[in-house]
Structure 1
Amino acid sequence: MVGNDIIDLNEASRASNWQRPRFLDKLFSEQEQAYINSAENAFKMVWRLWSMKEASYKLYTQIAPIRFYNPKAFQCTINKDLGTVKYKNFYCFVQSKITSNYIISEARLKKQKLNSEIIEFVSLGYSRQSDELKAKLIDSLGSKFRLEKNVFDVPILSNGKELFHVSLSHHGRYGSYVRA
């Protein structure tokens, strides 16, 4: 099982006002806010933490398939490019990579190197980008796989016999996918 999330830093800068009152309080614990306040680049730390929470949430919903919104409950800790996220009895490792264009985070139950494939979209528009991302995933695996969603709306790959966990993410000009 795996979860990933990508943040287009230009899009986040353009579309978000993370410095507005109470924004950080709604999404981040005191410890996470301390990471933000002491970071060399607070903007990138905000979006790194957010991508860690999103990747972990995607992994969690593969284990306990229920949809909910409670990002503050997913508690992040960071040690260089490796982090951990805890939610109730759930615990996972999150590898993050920060570039000048995007932040990618990948959550797994065991420590593992980042395996997400990153694409820069040709298409404009959310629906077209989603289709482009799914097509790239299927192309990378061969035509014997189908991308489906289970009854809880979690994406899975099927070859007719087996099911494989997959995570897809896109934001702004960038998309990413990873197969467990």
Structure 2
Amino acid sequence: MVGNDIVDIVEAKKQSNWQRPGFLDKIFTAKEQQYISKATNPFIMVWRLWSMKEAAYKLYTQLYPSRFYNPKAFKCSVNTLNGKVKYKDFECYVNTKITLLYILSEAHLDKTDMISEAVIFNKNDYKTLSKITKEILLNKISDRYTIPKSQLRISKSEFGIPSVYVNLEELNIDISISHHGNYGAYAVSDPARFQKPCRYTIA
């Protein structure tokens, strides 16, 4: 399973004043606020932690289908660009990539390399970004599994969890999709990594 989240740094600077009273207390634990206060760039740390929480939430809801908002309850610990997130009895590993343009985090149940890929757009429009990111992801799945793209579609559950279908049959792989500002990101897990059977041939 995989969960990911991407943050457009320029867009984050425009949209949110993280220094306003009460913002940090609402979202971050005391330990996380220490990470922020001690960071060389507190702004980047704020959005790194946020993206870790979001990626972990997406992974959690794949395991336990639900929809809720409680970012402070997803508790982060960080070490260089690796980290962990805990929520109740749930724990996952999170890798983060930080560039000058975006922050990309990816959550797994075990330690593994990042498989998410970022997509850069030249316009900031939610519907357009969502559509294009899904199209690129479907192209990748089509190539990997040698399935005609015309037979593939992505559908979300009532809890917002995305799945890939071949005609009317769900393809037994895990995906995660994220977009913010001018950037999107997608990940396709390798079924063999999680010992999940797939009746389609990997290209």
TM-score of Structure 1 vs Structure 2, range by shorter chain: over 0.9
Distance in 1 (CA, whole Å) between partners of 2:104 and 2:178 is 9
Question: What is the alpha-carbon root mean square deviation over aligned residues?
Answer: 1.1
Counterpart of 1:171 (choices 166, 169, 180) is 180
Task: Name the counterpart of 2:159.
Answer: 152
> Structure 1 residue 98: deviation in Å?
0.4
Distance in 2 (CA, whole Å) between partners of 1:161 and 1:131 is 20
> Structure 1 residue 158: deviation in Å?
2.4
> Structure 1 residue 123: deviation in Å?
4.1
Does the CA-based 8 Å contact 2:76-2:84 persist in structure 1? yes
- Measured against aligned partners, the alpha-carbon deviations of 1:90-116 in whole angstroms (never above 9, x if no partner) come to 000000010000000000000111110
Q: Which runs of 4+ in 1 moved over 6 A?
A: none
Distance 1:34 1:122, change over 3 A: same
Does the CA-based 8 Å contact 1:158-1:164 persist in structure 2? no
> Structure 1 residue 161: deviation in Å?
5.5
Q: SS state of the match for residue 173, structure 2?
A: strand
1:154 maps to amino acid: I
In structure 2, list runs of 5 or more residues that go unmatched.
143-148, 190-203
Superposition TM-score, scaled by structure 1 size: 0.96
Does the CA-based 8 Å contact 1:123-1:132 persist in structure 2? no
Between the two proteins, the alignment pairs up a number of residues equal to 180
Distance in 1 (CA, whole Å) between partners of 2:35 and 2:3 is 23
Structure with larger Rg: 2
Distance in 1 (CA, whole Å) between partners of 2:46 and 2:15 is 14
Task: Name the counterpart of 1:162.
Answer: 171
Q: SS state of the match for residue 164, structure 1?
A: coil
Does the CA-based 8 Å contact 2:163-2:170 persist in structure 1? no
In structure 1, list runs of 5 or more residues that go unmatched.
none
Q: SS state of the match for residue 25, structure 2?
A: helix
